[in-house]
C-alpha cells in the first residue's frame, strides 16, 4: 500500500526546503498532497509545488473548486499523516487557538491524523513566550514538534528557529508512518561491488554503486527489521539504524554473511566479482622491460547467494537475489532462481549502461509462481516495493 502525506506549507523562507522534502518523499514512494498558505505562496509558487508533487495544490478555503470536494475535511482523511513544514509562528498560533480562517488552519482543526510540525521563524519570534505558550498548547493537543535547529537565519540574525533539515523531517515522518511490520525479524543485505586484489595497489572491481542494496537495507530498517548490511567499497554513507560491516573481497563478504546468520530474510544485492586472482602478489607488479604484460590466472569466487540459499543449517526463510542481465533478462532470471535455490530474483536489464550507478531503475520481481514488472522509478521506491512484498509474503504465511 502506498503511503500518503498531507504537507502544509506556510509562510517562511524555509518553504524552499519543502520543495526538496516533496522530492525526497516521492523518491521514497510516498504520495504527497500539499496545501500552500497565502504566506507560503509568497516564497514558492503553486506551480512548482504541483509539478513536484504530481498533484493539484490546495490553497483556498472558500474555493468552489477545492471546497466542492470538502477539501478541509477530505484532505486529512485521505492521508496517513499531516506534516506542517515550514510552520510559521502565525500558523502555530492559529493551531493553538483553534482558529480556522484559511484552508490550512481549518484542515488542521478538522484533521483526524497525527500532525508533525516543523517550525521555522526568527529567533526572537521562536523564543517569544507567546510562541512557546502556543507550542506547548499544540503539544498537549497531540502535535509532534520537529525541533528547529540553530544557525544563521535568512534574516541575517543567528540563533534558533531555523527549520529542521529535510533529512530530520524525513526521519520523523518515517518513524510515524511505518508501523514496524518487520519488528522482531533479522535481515541480512549485501551491497556494492567487491574488489579482488591483483597486487597491493591494483584490483578487479565493477561499477556497482551500492545504491540499491543500501536503499533496501534502509527500507527494511524503516519497517522495524534488525538489519546487518554487508557492504563492499562504495561512496555512500552508512544508512541510519543499520549495522554495517565494511568488507573488500568476496571471501570477506562470505565470512561476514556467515557471521550474520541465522537471519529471517537475506537480500543479496551486491555485485560480487565472479573471479578472483588465484595468487595476488605481496609486492606491486612491475612493468617488464621487454613490454610483456603479466598473465593473471583467475579462479572462481564463492557464490554467496547460492551459499546462503542452500545453507545446510541456517537457511533464511526468504532469500532474495538480483540478476543483472544484458539479454534474455527474464529467462535468465528464472534459471538463476532455480540454479541458486533462492526464493525471489529481482531482475534488471543492465544493457547500455542501465541500472549501474543510476538513481532510477526498472525491474521485474521473479518468483517461482509469478513475475511483477515495476516501471522505472527511484531505487528507494524499488526498495520500498520490495519490502512491501516481503511484508505481504510474511503475513500470508
Cα-based angle 366, 369, 370 (whole degrees, multiple of 5):
50
Region from 13-21, 142-150, 164-172, 270-278 binding ligand C5P, contact rule CB under 6 A: 270-278
Q: What does the per-residue mask of binding to ligand C5P show for 108-137, with x meaning CB under 6 A?
A: ------------------------------
Interface residue with ligand C5P among 234, 249, 301, 377 (CB under 6 A) is: 301
Give the nearest distance from C-beta 48 to ligand C5P in angstroms.
Answer: 39
- Per the listing, cell 503511503 goes with 3
User: What would you report as the CA-atom Rg of the chain, rounded to the nearest whole angstrom?
Assistant: 25
Q: Cα–Cα distances in Å, from 363 out to 2, 300, 339?
A: 18, 27, 20
Residue 113 in contact with residue 107, Cβ under 8 Å? Answer: no
- With binding defined as CB under 6 A, does residue 303 bind ligand C5P? yes
User: DSSP characters for 287-320?
Assistant: PPTT-PPPP--EEEPP-HHHHHHT-TTT--SEEE
- With binding defined as CB under 6 A, does residue 232 bind ligand C5P? no
Give the nearest distance from C-beta 251 to ligand C5P in angstroms.
Answer: 10
**Residues 350-389 contacting ligand C5P, CB under 6 A:** none
- With binding defined as CB under 6 A, does residue 256 bind ligand C5P? no
CA gap 7, 20 in Å, rounded? 12
Give the nearest distance from C-beta 240 to ligand C5P in angstroms.
Answer: 23
> In what helix (H) or strand (E) does residue 199 lie, and over which residues does it extend?
none
HEC secondary structure over 333-373: HHHHHHHHCCCEEEEEECHHHCCCCCCEEEEEEEECCCEEE
- Per the listing, cell 510516498 goes with 30
Site size toward ligand C5P (CB under 6 A) is 15
Of 34, 155, 257, 342, which is the active-site residue? 155
Give the nearest distance from C-beta 265 to ligand C5P in angstroms.
Answer: 14
Which of 146, 222, 140, 165 lies closest to 189 in space, CA to CA? Answer: 222
Q: Which is nearer to ligand C5P, 221 or 305 (CB)?
A: 305
Interface residue with ligand C5P among 322, 334, 363, 389 (CB under 6 A) is: 322
Q: What is the bridge-based pairing of β-strands 81-87 and 57-58?
A: unpaired
Which phi and psi angles does 129 have, rounded to 5°?
-55, -30
Residue 155 bears catalytic tag: yes
- With binding defined as CB under 6 A, does residue 349 bind ligand C5P? no
Give the nearest distance from C-beta 45 to ligand C5P in angstroms.
Answer: 44
Residue 120 in contact with residue 86, Cβ under 8 Å? Answer: yes
Interface residue with ligand C5P among 250, 260, 319, 337 (CB under 6 A) is: 250
Region from 64-72, 117-125, 263-271, 354-362 binding ligand C5P, contact rule CB under 6 A: 263-271
Torsion-angle region of residue 151: left (phi > 0), alpha (psi -120 to 50) or beta?
Answer: left
Region from 11-19, 83-91, 203-211, 320-328 binding ligand C5P, contact rule CB under 6 A: 320-328
Q: Which is nearer to ligand C5P, 10 or 361 (CB)?
A: 361
In the chain, DSSP finds a helix count (H) and a strand count (E) of 14, 20
Give the nearest distance from C-beta 269 to ligand C5P in angstroms.
Answer: 6
Q: Which is nearer to ligand C5P, 110 or 350 (CB)?
A: 350
Interface residue with ligand C5P among 82, 319, 323, 355 (CB under 6 A) is: 323
- With binding defined as CB under 6 A, does residue 321 bind ligand C5P? yes
Q: What does the per-residue mask of binding to ligand C5P show for 165-204, with x meaning CB under 6 A?
A: -------------------------x--------------
Residue 104 in contact with residue 91, Cβ under 8 Å? Answer: yes
3-state class (DSSP) for residue 83: strand
Which is it for the CA torsion 227, 232, 236, 237, positive or negative?
A: positive
The residues of the shown chain that bind ligand C5P, judged by CB under 6 A, are: 190, 250, 268-270, 272, 274, 301, 303-305, 321-323, 336
User: What residues are annotated to the active site?
Assistant: 155
Amino acid at each position: 500500500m502506498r503511503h500518503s502525506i498531507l504537507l502544509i506549507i506556510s509562510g517562511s523562507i524555509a518553504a524552499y526546503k519543502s520543495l526538496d522534502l516533496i522530492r525526497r518523499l516521492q523518491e521514497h514512494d510516498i504520495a504527497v498532497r500539499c496545501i500552500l498558505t497565502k504566506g507560503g505562496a509568497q516564497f514558492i509558487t503553486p506551480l512548482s509545488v504541483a509539478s513536484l508533487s504530481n498533484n493539484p495544490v490546495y490553497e483556498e478555503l472558500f474555493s468552489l473548486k477545492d471546497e466542492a470536494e470538502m477539501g478541509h475535511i477530505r484532505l486529512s482523511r485521505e492521508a496517513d499523516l499531516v506534516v506542517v513544514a515550514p510552520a510559521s509562528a502565525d500558523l502555530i498560533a492559529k493551531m493553538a487557538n483553534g482558529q480556522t480562517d484559511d484552508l490550512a488552519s481549518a484542515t488542521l482543526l478538522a484533521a483526524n491524523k497525527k500532525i508533525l510540525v516543523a517550525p521555522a521563524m526568527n529567533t526572537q519570534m521562536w523564543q517569544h513566550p507567546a510562541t512557546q505558550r502556543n507550542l506547548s498548547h499544540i503539544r498537549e493537543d497531540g502535535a509532534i514538534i520537529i525541533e528547529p535547529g540553530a544557525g544563521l537565519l535568512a534574516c541575517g540574525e543567528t540563533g534558533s528557529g531555523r527549520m529542521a533539515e529535510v533529512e530530520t523531517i524525513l526521519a520523523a515522518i518515517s518513524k510515524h508512518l511505518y508501523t514496524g511490520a518487520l519488528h522482531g525479524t533479522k535481515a541480512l543485505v549485501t551491497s556494492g561491488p567487491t574488489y579482488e586484489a591483483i597486487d597491493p595497489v591494483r584490483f578487479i572491481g565493477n561499477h556497482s554503486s551500492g545504491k540499491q542494496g543500501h536503499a533496501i537495507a534502509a527500507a527494511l530498517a524503516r519497517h522495524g527489521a534488525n538489519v546487518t548490511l554487508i557492504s563492499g567499497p562504495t561512496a555512500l554513507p552508512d544508512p541510519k539504524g543499520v549495522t554495517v560491516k565494511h568488507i573488500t573481497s568476496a571471501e570477506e563478504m562470505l565470512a561476514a554473511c556467515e557471521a550474520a546468520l541465522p537471519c529471517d530474510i537475506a537480500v543479496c544485492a551486491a555485485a560480487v566479482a565472479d573471479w578472483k586472482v588465484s595468487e595476488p602478489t605481496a609486492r606491486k607488479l612491475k612493468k617488464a622491460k621487454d613490454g610483456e604484460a603479466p598473465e593473471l590466472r583467475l579462479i572462481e569466487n564463492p557464490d554467496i547467494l547460492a551459499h546462503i540459499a542452500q545453507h545446510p543449517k541456517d537457511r533464511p526463510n526468504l532469500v532474495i537475489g538480483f540478476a543483472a542481465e544484458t539479454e534474455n533478462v527474464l529467462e535468465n532470471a528464472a534459471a538463476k532462481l532455480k540454479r541458486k535455490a533462492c526464493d525471489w530474483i529481482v531482475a534488471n536489464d543492465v544493457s547500455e549502461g542501465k541500472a549501474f550507478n543510476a538513481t532510477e531503475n526498472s525491474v521485474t520481481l521473479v518468483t517461482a509462481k509469478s513475475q511483477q514488472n515495476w516501471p522505472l522509478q527511484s531505487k528507494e521506491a524499488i526498495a520500498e516495493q520490495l519490502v512491501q512484498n516481503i511484508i505481504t509474503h510474511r503475513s500470508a504465511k
